[in-house]
Amino acid sequence: MKILALNCGSSSIKYKVFNWGTKETLGSGSVERIGITGSFIRHEKQGCDPHIQNHECPNHGEALKLIAELLQDEKISAIGHRVVHGGEKFKSSVKIDAEVLAAIKAVQDLAPLHNPPNIAGIEAAQILFPDVPHIAVFDTAFHQTMPENAYLYAVPYEWYGMYGVRRYGFHGTSHLYVSRRASVLLGKKPSETNLITMHIGNGVSITAVKNGESVDTSMGLTPLEGAVMGTRCGDIDPAIILFMIEKEGFYAEQIDSILNKKSGLIGITGKYMDRRDIEKAASEGDKRCQLAFEIEAYRLKKYIGSYSASLGHVDAIVFTAGAGELNWQLREKVLTNLDNLGIKFDRIKNQNAMSKDKETDISADDSKVKIFVVPTDEEMVFIEDVVAILEGRYETHTKFTYSFEASNYSRRKIS
Which residues are catalytically annotated?
Answer: 139
Residue 81 assigned to a binding site:
no
Residue 82 assigned to a binding site:
yes
Residue 274 assigned to a binding site:
yes
Residue 302 assigned to a binding site:
no
Give the DSSP H or E segment for 393: none
Between strands 204-210 and 213-217, the pairing is antiparallel
DSSP state of 191: G
Residue 203 assigned to a binding site:
yes
Residue 287 assigned to a binding site:
no
Cα–Cα distances (Å) from 152 to 168, 186, 210, in that order, read 9, 32, 18
CB atoms within 10 A of CB 218: 26
Buried b (16+ CB within 10 A) or exposed e, 384-401: bbbbbbbeeebeebbebe
Contact of 373 with 319, CB cutoff 8 Å: yes
Q: Bridge partners of 62?
A: none
Question: HSE-up of 394 (CA within 13 Å, CB side)?
Answer: 21
DSSP state of 47: T
Residue 7 assigned to a binding site:
yes
Contact of 132 with 77, CB cutoff 8 Å: yes
Strand runs labelled E in 59-187 = 78-83, 94-95, 134-138
Q: Going by C-beta distance under 8 Å and a sequence separation of 6 or more, which residues neighbour residue 97?
A: none
Residue 362 assigned to a binding site:
no
Task: Tell me the C-alpha distance between 388 and 94, whole Å.
Answer: 11
Question: HSE-up of 118 (CA within 13 Å, CB side)?
Answer: 27
Closest residue by Cα to residue 143 from 115, 172, 110, 166: 172
What does R_g of the chain's alpha carbons equal in angstroms? Answer: 21
Q: Which residue ranges are tagged as binding site for ATP?
A: 14, 199-203, 274-276
Annotated binding site for substrate: 82
Annotated binding site for Mg(2+): 7, 378
The annotation places the binding site at 7, 14, 82, 199-203, 274-276, 378
